[in-house]
Structure 1
Amino acid sequence: MGTEGGNVRVIGGRYRLEAIIGRGGMGVIWRSSDTLLGRQVAVKELAVDETLSEDEAAQQRERMLREARAVAQLRHPNIIVVHDVVLHEGRPYIVMDLLDGGSLADRIARQGPVDPVEAARIGLALLGALRVAHAAGVLHRDLKPANVLLEAGTARVVLTDFGIAQVAGATTLTESGGFVGSPEYTAPERMSGGGAGAGADLWSLGALLCAALTGESPFRRDSLGGVLHAVVYEEIQPPPEAAPLLPVVRGLLERDPARRLGLDEAERLLRAYVATGATPQQAPPPGAYTPTRPDMPAVHRQKISTRVLLVAAALVAAAAGAVLAATALLAGRDGNTPQTPTSSASEPSRTGSASVSPTPTVTVTRSETRTATPRPTAPTGYRTVRDAKGFSLAVPEGFTRSLDGQRVFYMSPRRTFRIGVRVTGTQEGGPAAAQRRAAADGPSTNPGYRDGKVTDTSHDGHDAALWEFTWDGFSTSEGARRTIDLCWEEGGRMYDVWVSAPVSRIDEARAYFDAAVDTFAPSAG
């Protein structure tokens, strides 16, 4: 039953959960003992949405585990070390380093804001962590003071809780009126329901720097609706305390992701300030920091306002009896490409963790009755295709079909995003062996192949393997791409589903991957 000695639980046959040291919307953090290696660790018990059907809950757990395993591959001194991922009695757990020290949020609550030099030092550490994560196709999605740990005695800054703030395959503002994330630190492109890439983490860093310097986010308001309005609509006024780092803060808090300060420039400016005490002045991009620019299409302005009102209305509904549910999730995916046939196609995964959150991750949803279905229906903006190769799945509107031997592709215009499917007979050794054979051939089939990783996992109760890698694309114009490939056997067939996309647009690719995998169904044909 996972217990030992009264109420003390043991998970994974080795991790003894001893005391709760943190609690938030994403789950509970336990101080634990690794009885096998005789060391103390932190174990995060992830929250699972109790309103989901059994099938939906299983899919949610699989996504969380895939994401956790992928983050476990990240190695950087400013990223939490993930030792293990465990599924115990239907609930996911993440085993991490146990750090002596609290979060940045704890420090601000106890001692007040930090000085500009310390804020710049923290910012540089977080940029280093994000650089490694983004290069591996991992987005954080919930960068805030509560997810930044400060190790006692070393001054080391450690980023935790990757990928948990957004339901995989969903936008931040959902069609049902729900909000997922930490609103005071969430980028406006996510608020408005659009695709969000690595730049969304940089916006969150800008809000975090303001919080470190003043004690609170510049978007803190009395209600969630007020926060959303401030993020996507009000004029942004960086606080006076941010003056020493103003070019960095203003550059990061640029609403247009295309004009937002990039990681390299933010790092250069912060290093210059730490070295000289004066930040080099940089004019903000044209049109920055205004709620609605003249060049912003009216339909886009209306979309932003409509979604803000939608969430505000959801809050009123919540007060009248809607459900407030704190949900922790992890997301992630990537894909393969069409031009050169490969011997096999397959897929990968990720995670992070630790500390009490004074600004909880919030999910607001309307109460509704859910009924179990064999497969989720196509999300808004997708269509269900029934392919002659013997399967059906949801693909985004506008994607067109292409055939390359045994491989079927559904591709976006200009082939920026490529969803691939391959159906074959079973193979010797099953999905894991097939994926590892494909990974071994990776350098010969994918130019510039690197960061390849095959992880054993499951899909709808079937043994599966996830292969994830970065490569250079088939032409210099494509640039670096990330591929996520899931392979499993079912009904005497082997199925391979993958998505390939530019590294900089991995968040969109993950949404496509999740929709494809979650809605995929074998069929006769």
Structure 2
Amino acid sequence: MGTEGDAVRVIAGRYRLEARLGRGGMGVVWRATDELLGRRVAVKELAQDDTLSSEEARGRRDRTLREARAVAQLSHPHIIVVHDVVEDGERPYIVMELIDGGSLADRIAEHGPLAPDEAARIGLALLGALRAAHAAGVLHRDIKPANVLLERDSDRVVLTDFGIAQVAGATTLTETGSFVGSPEYTAPERMSGAHTGPESDLWSLGALLCTALSGESPFRRDSLGGILHAVVFAEIRTPPQAAPLLPVVRGLLERDPGRRLGAAEAERLLRAFRDTGRTPPAASSGYTPTRADLPQQGLAQQGLSPSRLGQSAQERSTRGVLIAALLVAAMAGAGVSAAALLVNRDGEGGGSPTSSAPRETTSAAPGPTASGSTGPTAASPSPTGRPSTTASHAASRASDDRPTAPSGYHVADDPAGFSLAVPEGFTRVPQGERVFYMSPGQTFRLGIRIAEPEPGGPLAVLRRAHAGGPDANPGYHDGKVTETTHGARPAALWEFTWDGFSAAEGPRHTYDLCWEEDGRLYDVWVSAPVGKVREAREYFDVAVDTFVTG
């Protein structure tokens, strides 16, 4: 609803601003009349930054006008029509079509979550809009329910507010270096300050679909730091209402942009759902279902073996989260604690790799053997080949080189000569040359081994352990050793699934990282039941990121 008390103004000699429709971080939106053509329009008055010099302000205005005109070239039934881009009194304005209707956010607030068919219809419309924008080299960067308009008395869905869009080869409409967008709907690679592309908009669409189906973003938390952690690290718990569209939602919410569901495949799946009432499996997606995603369907029915149950291979580095925290905190004045953001990495492993097969046992109960991770973690290379090393390993330490524990963890200063962050409630269990930190009931087992270097270095060590895996780990399968780095040091990752030491214990999955440092061989692993691999990866990555020798 507009604010009628505002003084009427005419800008650029033709647009009469009549009532304020809304205000946001990018400026004010007005209901207006184009007096030249006699039609109703919406006009966005972009906010000015009074801290800029006159030269900087002019440069920003020029960028805004240039890039907004590029966005105005987009032509698609589900993209807002930009009629004009003008400047009045050295302030830029974007003139758009006026949509008779509210936003998707308004619809959800007033009437609750959408039915799956309606959510699929809106998702298809937005995918069409995004494909057209991306083909023209335009990234939206702020996909959220408030920026989706639902035209009254028609089925038209309109993607609006390209105010922070990015045009290929250009700077953004907002100040260079500022964090822009809505954190609950922002892709993890944008949070970490990495290069982003069309895949980032698709992540946001996945979060939007969750919100449309359940009424709330899966990344909503009570604090900005909590949101950042949820987006970048925490297990993604899709709402039960998303089950009918689960292959699409989970495929779009794949943290590794290289494995994220593409727009064409997402369209195919949504159309199939609307045609048949069922969503087929994705043909080309990095999405790997977890048991939490399949509450009513057996693994065999889904064609899944326990070894395929897991999280995305790539998690953003803690360093990236710290960068994001600094950017967003600077923007919002949130005062985010870096330590509070040093969170969630899974992993649980078995013994340490040696020339003889590693074994993880305790006097109280059997334990897993050496393990690693199939894909990159904080200490592993990204799928793109760029190293994603644990820079956070150094960033997370206090000035005395002691690690800082994330929320829910404490720093264990071990008598064996190292420190690391372990989850609250874990108990230290020494076992010869190995040290374990066990959860209650030994569901999760975090192991550390320090030894003399071996021929061939960490990679050879873990390859030998992998070769002996079937002897040391009953039912050993799907083992993989990956060469990587830990900090600037050569390292290796090992990941595998096995049957556990007893039928009562059941199948387990193990992650293991091995590296050399200061003339010693270090091995850190975590193992856990296959249904709890995401929690395990969290424990594993936190342990690796915070591990300090001496």
In structure 1, list runs of 5 or more residues that go unmatched: 321-525
Using the TM superposition, name which of 244-253 and 64-73 deviates more: 64-73
Matched, 1:47 2:33: no
Give me the whole-angstrom Cα distance separating, in 2, the residues matched to 1:220 and 1:100. 29
- Alpha-carbon distance, 1:296 to partner: 4.7
Counterpart check, 1:307 vs 2:323? yes
State the 4+ residue runs in structure 1 displaced beyond 3 angstroms: 165-175, 286-290, 292-297, 308-320
Q: How has the CA–CA distance of structure 1 residues 264 and 146 changed in structure 2, closer, same or farther, with 3 Å as cutoff?
A: same
Which of the pair has the greater relative contact order for Cα pairs under 8 Å at 6+ separation?
1
* Cα deviation, residue 124, structure 1: 0.3
Corresponding residue for 1:76? Answer: 76
CA separation of 1:313 and 1:202: change in aligned 2, threshold 3 A = closer
**Matched-pair contact (CA < 8 Å) for 1:225–1:312:** no
Closer, same or farther: CA 317–117 of 1 in aligned 2, 3 Å: closer
Q: Tell whether the 8 Å contact from 1:251 to 1:260 is kept in structure 2 after alignment.
A: yes
* Structure 2 partner of 1:136: 136
- 1:261 is matched with which residue? 261
What is the distance in 2 between the residues matched to 1:267 and 1:43?
32
TM-score (norm 2): 0.53
Alignment of 1:389-428 (within 5 A): none
Q: How does 1:309-328 map to 2 (within 5 A)?
A: 309-310=325-326, 314=330, 318=334
Distance in 2 separating the partners of 1:232 and 1:303:
11
Aligned partners of 2:333, 2:28: CA distance in 1, in Å? Answer: 28
* Separation of aligned partners in 1, 2:56 and 2:162: 22
Give the distance between the partners of 2:174 and 2:69, measured in 1 at CA.
Answer: 23
Within 5 A, what are the aligned runs for 1:491-502? none
Map of 2:210 onto structure 1:
210
Could you tell me how far apart the structure 1 residues matched to 2:174 and 2:94 are? Answer: 24
CA distance in 1, matches of 2:264, 2:209: 17
Deviations 1:143-185 (A, max 9, x none): 111110000001200111125167974799997xx63211111
Which AA in structure 2 matches 1:200?
S
- Gap change, CA 1:294 and 1:86, over 3 Å in 2: closer
The residue correspondences of 1:252-291 to structure 2 (distance < 5 A) are: 252-282=252-282, 285=286
Matches of 2:325 and 2:52, distance apart in 1: 26
Determine the C-alpha separation between the residues in 1 that align with 2:54 and 2:311: 46
> Counterpart of 1:99?
99
Residue 34 of structure 1 aligns with which residue? 34
Provide the rounded CA distance (Å) in 2 between the counterparts of 1:196 and 1:310.
Answer: 19
Give, as a single letter, the amino acid of the residue that structure 1 aligns with 2:61: R
Q: Is the 8 A contact 1:172 1:193 kept in 2?
A: no
Contact map agreement 2:139 2:165 (CA 8 A) in 1: no
Aligned to 2:187: 187
TM-score under structure 1 length normalisation: 0.55
For the 8 Å contact 1:252–1:261, the answer to whether it is kept is yes
Identify the residue that residue 120 of structure 1 maps to in structure 2.
Answer: 120
Following TM superposition, by how much is the alpha carbon of 1:63 offset from its aligned partner in structure 2, in angstroms? 1.2
Distance apart, 1:54 and its partner CA: 1.5
- Cα distance between partner residues in 2 of 1:294 and 1:123: 23
Would you say the 8 A contact 2:81–2:97 is kept in 1? yes
The offset of 1:225, in angstroms, is: 1.4
- 1:16 corresponds in structure 2 to 16
CA–CA distance in structure 2, aligned partners of residues 313 and 33 of structure 1:
39
Sort the Cα spacing of 1:305 and 1:26 in 2 relative to 1 into closer, same or farther, 3 A: closer
Tell me the distance in 1 between the aligned counterparts of 2:286 and 2:22: 40
Checking the alignment, whether the CA contact within 8 Å between 1:148 and 1:160 is kept in structure 2 is: yes
Give the greater-gyration-radius structure (CA): 2
Aligned-pair CA distance for 1:53: 1.8
Aligned partners of 1:313, 1:40: CA distance in 2, in Å? 39
Partner residue of 2:357? none
Q: Which letter does structure 2 place at the counterpart of 1:8?
A: V
Cα displacement string for residues 434-462 of structure 1 (whole angstroms, at most 9, x for unaligned residues): xxxxxxxxxxxxxxxxxxxxxxxxxxxxx
Aligned pair in 2 of structure 1 residues 311, 122: CA closer, same or farther (>3 Å)? Answer: same
Secondary structure of 1:96's aligned partner: strand
Give SS of 2:57's match.
helix
Secondary structure of 1:87's aligned partner: strand
Give the aligned partner of residue 229 of structure 2.
229
1:7 and 2:21 aligned: no
Contact 1:199–1:262 (CA<8 Å) still a contact in 2? Answer: yes
Provide the C-alpha distance between the structure 2 equivalents of 1:24 and 1:256, rounded to a whole number of angstroms.
Answer: 31
Q: 1:170 to 1:223 in 2, by over 3 A?
A: farther
Q: Deviations over 1:349-387 (max 9, x none)?
A: xxxxxxxxxxxxxxxxxxxxxxxxxxxxxxxxxxxxxxx
Residue identity in the other structure for 1:307: I
Residues 192 and 304 in structure 1, CA contact (< 8 A), matched pair in contact too: yes
Partner of 2:243: 243
Are the counterparts in 1 of residues 44 and 93 from structure 2 also a CA contact under 8 Å? yes
